[in-house]
């Protein structure tokens, strides 16, 4: 019987979920969903100083927003400290770990001496054979093999061999009784039955140490896959100076979760030349074999291009739901859902983000339109006053108040008044929106309705009169 695949995502709650972590979670999730395995969420909160409930909540919210649902958890590593201590004691009892009382000052001196002598600054084994007992400031170190090699069979990078003499007797339990990352992660992954550990390649150098701990504890070693890091355009590791790195910052910027997921999966993975994938397609097509070995470069413009595509093609009701918070945040009344739906429909073809859509559509919800000074100076002038009066006078009696009906009406009016359609349309546009750029003027007029359209044109005419 084939073993059921179990993967995990194990963030540390010391900050928000960042782009790199989100992509790691996504790769785990897609890999697991394709094989109908189990995706486990474990919060690695044993860093008692830096871990916070706020960060935990932010990470869970980001996972939920991205649609990365988990099958088990969230488990909390700090709740398992008793189990970790038992496993540490097991290694001590078997002579595979030992107590160390070297102070931070002594360790720093050893490090400097090693570097000065051209040696690798690893622990020199001072306490390795001293047979010390636990004391107030003692830590526990793993007795790493001193000869031979440890081989990582990486599903993405291939085989990587590490010389054991290069590896350290790493600390597995701190003086405060809490396990270190490299020890706790092994115990938790093993006891939770994790079969595949897919994570960022910044963990590659931790892996041989972890393999040794698996073997020392008698656990089966899982399969590892290390995904390449994400770089900024300058080929430096992605950081805040390249723009937002927090997942929820992208939500606040007005990105749709599907767009971010689609973008993240293409950072280091490809399927031919295809750029846009539904969730179902990603699950069906994702494989670790197609994950690249080299670092991926984050391109904000590409992300915005994808987001614009998703805004255009998003199901109407879901796009409205996504938009509502942005307009509510601006203090607009969004209780008239049919009106909101029309506004969204008018605006979605041009917007790259929901913030852009919200800002470009603000004019729909305002009682008084702020006119762009340049637009007003060009089109809200005595020269255009007669055109605007003619539109305002005739709209109430217009029978066909549809997009096509308004287009025909404005075209006929331009011909009657001996001018070009674009001059009447632009004057009306500025009167209704305050700007020279907006959705189609016929769309705007239909969405605003006869009453609001006439009121706004009359207000613009009054402004012309005042200015004159």
Respond yes or no on whether the N-terminal peptide bond of residue 74 is cis (omega within 30° of 0): yes
Q: Give dist(CA 57, CA 77) in Å, integer.
A: 15
Known catalytic residue: 240? yes
pLDDT given for residue 1 in this prediction: 43
Task: Collect all residues with Cβ–Cβ distance below 8 Å to 255 and sequence separation of at least 6.
Answer: 303, 307, 353, 354
Contact 163, 175 (CB under 8 A): no
Query: 112, 120, 240, 312: which one is catalytic?
Result: 240
By CB atoms closer than 10 A (0-12, 13-18, 19+), residue 193 is: middle
pLDDT along the chain (468 residues), means of 10: 86 91 97 97 86 91 97 95 97 98 94 88 93 95 96 96 94 94 97 98 96 98 96 82 81 97 95 95 96 93 97 96 96 96 96 97 95 96 96 96 96 95 96 96 97 97 77
pLDDT of residue 46: 79
- What is the predicted pLDDT for the residue at 237? 83
Q: Which residues pair with 18 in a beta bridge?
A: 246
Amino acid 340: pLDDT? 97
Other beta carbons within 10 Å of 114 = 15
Q: pTM value?
A: 0.91
d(CA 357, CA 350): 8
* Nearest Cα residue to 306 out of 275, 272, 274, 267: 275
Q: Report how far residue 206's alpha carbon sits from residue 209's, in angstroms, rounded to the nearest whole number.
A: 6
Instruction: Say what the pLDDT of residue 244 is.
Output: 65
């Amino acid at each position: 019987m084939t073993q059921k695949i179990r993967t995990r995502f194990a963030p540390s709650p010391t900050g928000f979920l960042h782009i790199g972590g989100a992509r790691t979670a996504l790769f785990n999730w897609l890999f697991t969903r394709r094989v109908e395995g189990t995706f486990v969420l474990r919060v690695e909160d044993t860093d008692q100083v830096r871990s916070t409930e706020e960060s935990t909540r932010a990470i869970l919210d980001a996972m939920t927003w991205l649609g990365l649902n988990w099958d088990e958890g969230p488990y909390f590593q700090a709740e398992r400290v008793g189990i970790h201590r038992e496993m540490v004691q097991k290694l001590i009892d078997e002579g595979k770990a030992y107590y160390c009382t070297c102070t931070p000052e002594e360790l720093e001196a050893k490090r400097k001496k090693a570097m000065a002598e051209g040696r690798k600054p690893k622990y020199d084994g001072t306490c390795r054979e001293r047979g010390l007992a636990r004391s107030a400031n003692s830590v526990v170190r793993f007795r790493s093999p001193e000869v031979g090699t440890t081989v990582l069979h990486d599903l993405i990078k291939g085989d990587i061999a590490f010389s054991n003499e290069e590896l350290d007797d790493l600390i597995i339990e701190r003086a405060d009784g809490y396990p270190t990352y490299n020890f706790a992660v092994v115990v938790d992954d093993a006891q939770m039955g994790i079969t595949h550990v897919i994570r960022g390649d910044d963990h590659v150098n931790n892996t041989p140490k972890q393999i040794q701990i698996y073997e020392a504890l008698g656990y089966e070693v899982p399969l590892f896959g290390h995904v390449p890091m994400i770089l900024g355009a300058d080929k430096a590791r992605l950081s805040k100076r390249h723009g937002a790195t927090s997942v929820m910052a992208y939500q606040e910027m007005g990105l749709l979760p599907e767009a971010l997921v689609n973008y993240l999966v293409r950072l280091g993975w490809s399927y031919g030349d295809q750029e846009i994938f539904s969730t179902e397609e990603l699950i069906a097509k994702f494989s670790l074999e197609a994950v690249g070995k080299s670092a991926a470069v984050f391109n904000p413009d590409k992300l915005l291009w994808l987001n614009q595509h998703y805004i255009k093609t998003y199901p109407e009701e879901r796009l409205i739901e996504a938009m509502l918070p942005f307009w509510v945040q601006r203090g607009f009344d969004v209780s008239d859902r049919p009106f909101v739906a029309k506004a969204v429909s008018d605006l979605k073809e041009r917007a790259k983000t929901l913030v852009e859509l919200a800002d470009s559509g603000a004019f729909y919800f305002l009682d008084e339109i702020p006119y762009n000074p340049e637009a007003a100076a060009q089109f809200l002038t005595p020269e255009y006053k007669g055109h605007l009066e003619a539109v305002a006078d005739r709209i109430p009696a217009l029978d066909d108040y549809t997009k096509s009906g308004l287009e025909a009406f404005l075209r006929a009016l331009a011909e009657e008044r001996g001018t070009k359609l674009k001059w009447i349309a632009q004057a009306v546009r500025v009167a209704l929106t305050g700007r020279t750029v907006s959705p189609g003027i016929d769309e705007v007029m239909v969405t605003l309705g006869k009453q609001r359209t006439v009121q706004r044109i009359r207000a613009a005419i009054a402004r012309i009169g005042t200015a004159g």
